[in-house]
């Protein structure tokens, strides 16, 4: 009997989207967006606090982290990390590609001669031994 109720609650969380994360003194809360769905899980109704409905009629609840299913938290954190890394990479790649390409064209052979004159060994940061540069 418990399995059926557990499955039903998972089904109700199926297309829920976590919109925000809020860290407070009491703990971490997440803003869950249920869309225009009529059936909301009992856990959310009992332990969550509803945000006043907007003109889009989407049902959104703040819910404590302990009541949010783990797979939702995992997907939210993964998307958050992916967004941050893509923002950082897109900004850095465009600047880096411009900076790297222009000096190579301007320097020409002087860049190659400078590399040849450098020592072929480099001190390892871990063991502090001289190791050849590849």
Quote the mean pLDDT of the chain. 76
Q: 48 pLDDT band (50/70/90 cuts)? A: confident
How many other β-carbons are positioned within 10 Å of the β-carbon of residue 60? Answer: 20
Q: How many residues does the chain have?
A: 134
Q: Which range (17-26, 73-82, 99-108) has the least confidence?
A: 99-108
Nearest to 63 by CA among 75, 74, 51: 51
pLDDT score at 55: 66
Q: 47 pLDDT band (50/70/90 cuts)? A: confident
Query: What average pLDDT score do residues 40-58 get?
Result: 80
Query: How far, in Å, CA of 34 to CA of 46, rounded?
Result: 15
pLDDT of residue 56 exceeding 50, the answer is yes
pLDDT score at 98: 46
pLDDT score at 96: 45
Q: Which range (49-53, 61-65, 118-122) has the least confidence?
A: 118-122
pLDDT score at 29: 92
């Amino acid at each position: 009997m418990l399995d059926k109720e557990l499955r039903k609650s998972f089904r109700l969380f199926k297309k829920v989207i976590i919109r925000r994360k809020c860290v407070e003194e009491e703990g971490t809360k997440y803003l869950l967006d249920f869309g225009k769905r009529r059936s909301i899980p009992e856990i959310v109704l009992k332990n969550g606090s509803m945000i006043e409905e907007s003109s889009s009629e989407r049902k959104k609840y703040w819910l404590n982290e302990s009541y949010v299913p783990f797979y939702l938290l995992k997907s939210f954190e993964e998307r958050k990390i992916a967004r941050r890394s893509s923002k950082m990479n897109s900004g850095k790649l465009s600047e880096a590609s411009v900076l790297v390409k222009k000096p190579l064209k301007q320097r020409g052979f002087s860049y190659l001669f400078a590399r040849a004159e450098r020592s072929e060994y480099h001190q390892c940061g871990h063991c502090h031994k001289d190791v050849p540069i590849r």
